[in-house]
Chain A
């Protein structure tokens, strides 16, 4: 099947969700069950059909270029799990 444990490991990494080793097999079974069911869409003839990306059938409105927001660092930082002065803080990143 498509979603073998290696693939699960890869997409879990892309999703930044830690998955324990012993969860890989059961997750693989579960997700393959769902994918197998989803594959019924292969029955549909979609030749020449334009994909529908969203719920709204209109063109996008544009806003004026005016500063109307921002300027409230305390509100931005109030929920931060780790804050240092006026910054958010995370484990050190090496580039």
Chain B
């Protein structure tokens, strides 16, 4: 069922295009040598270039260009060997030069494709219109003083990639899936950390609504939405607002809006009321950006495996289900973790542990792969202990919990706690004898046909052996003694 907003006049289709601003991972800024790191004291990571001082000139950072090209390649996009930087002229307190250096007419990356998987298992292609490089602005702090706005220029000049999608998105779900997929690709490529909370990835959301078969109606742009959840909410709220406007006989005005996440509504952005006339023109301080094919080829050759390819490989090489493969490749760190665990072991068991106990433990601890107390090597070692019968599956769960708590390796925990599986048949025989002797009535019931009671005997035996008995041997012994 296609997503639609039900209005009083019937269903409305939602049309969404996203402009994602992704902060490029680099040491220094796009056009200056000051640090691009996040979170420094105000105005400490600012050069005279970033602050727009008289006579200051931009010089482009090769790595930022390489990151844009890598991203373009990762989006299956056309790389433009000649591109150009333009000035986008407008005044804002945190934009020191009075213009933003951006790529308007000739972006470095052209059209590409992002494939997203939806909840119903279907796959949809979202077109990428373009990707271009531009400078970030500084930060305006409005809440520090009653009558003043404070300006911190640390972000001024940090490289951004603006990734513009086609208006191919038709629902909040698709918008979320597109952003998650895009973020995953960027993280795989190492071109953007995708951290929306710190603002290193943010989206401008273009929304319009229409009746089936109509041409596009007027759209509104919701600026700077900073989480995937908010993007999905903003699409829904804005589409509903527009439906209401149209249905009440009004006209949707093209405008820039903000999403108020507390109230779940969008509202017009006051500072953008001015008519847009950015007076783009080629930045005369810069020359055309000309890329050698050999350089592009070298970047292409060094690209990591991307999520789509990895997912296909996980299914074919490891025999994983589509669901498990999709879950495991969503984050590169997860995929790497899984592969370390699976190496030389049964991949399905590895996948079960990673997506099961391991994810659950991370969730409980509020930890990520990076901060996980259990390393991939240790989880692998735990699997080895099961396979070589050092411990049984039940004990393995306890050992795993101990690993989560202590971060220790499983062999040490098994040793320390004496959890080694008992395979000594004498000890098992003795334990079984004791249980049989202590429960004559249950033995009689079992022998008279209540086979369900077998589990009771296994449990009692295991309990008597503090869980360390080899389950197969216990089964065999019980079967013999109860026969």
Contacts and interface: CB of A to CB of B under 8 A. Distances in A.
Interface of A: 13-14, 16, 53-56, 58-71, 73, 75-77, 82, 84-95
B321 interface: no
Given A14-B279, A68-B33, A70-B33, A89 B28 contact: no
Contact of B141 (A14, A58, A87, A94): A87
B352 to A, nearest CB: 42
Contacts, number: 140
Contacts of A14: 277, 279
B287 A56 contact: yes
Contact of A65 (B63, B84, B91, B151): B63
Given A14-B277, A87-B144, A67 B33 contact: yes
B32 A69 contact: yes
Contacts of A53: 84, 282, 284
A88 B150 CA distance: 6
Given A64-B63, A86-B41, 4 more contacts: A56-B287, A60-B286, A89-B149, A95-B270
Interface of B: 26-28, 32-35, 41-51, 59-65, 84, 91, 93, 140-142, 144-153, 258, 269-271, 274, 277, 279, 282, 284, 286-290
A93 B288 contact: no
Contact of B148 (A59, A62, A67, A92): A92
A76 B287 contact: no
Given A59-B288, A62-B62, A66-B28, A89 B148 contact: yes
CB-CB nearest 9 A-B residue pairs: A70-B34, A65-B63, A68-B33, A62-B62, A69-B33, A87-B150, A60-B287, A69-B47, A59-B290
A62 B60 contact: yes
Nearest to A58: B287
Given A70-B35, A92-B142, A95-B271, A59 B150 contact: no
Contacts of A62: 60-62, 65
A54 B60 CA distance: 17
Contact of B93 (A66, A71, A90): A90
Nearest to A71: B44
A64 to B, nearest CB: 6
Contact of B271 (A58, A90, A93): A93
A83 to B, nearest CB: 10
B234 to A, nearest CB: 16
A76 B46 contact: yes
A69 B150 contact: no
A94 B271 contact: yes
Nearest to B151: A88
B61 A63 contact: yes
B136 to A, nearest CB: 15
A33 B42 CA distance: 48
20 contacts: A16-B91, A53-B84, A58-B287, A63-B60, A66-B27, A69-B28, A70-B45, A70-B50, A71-B35, A71-B44, A73-B46, A85-B42, A88-B93, A88-B150, A89-B150, A91-B149, A92-B142, A93-B93, A94-B142, A95-B269
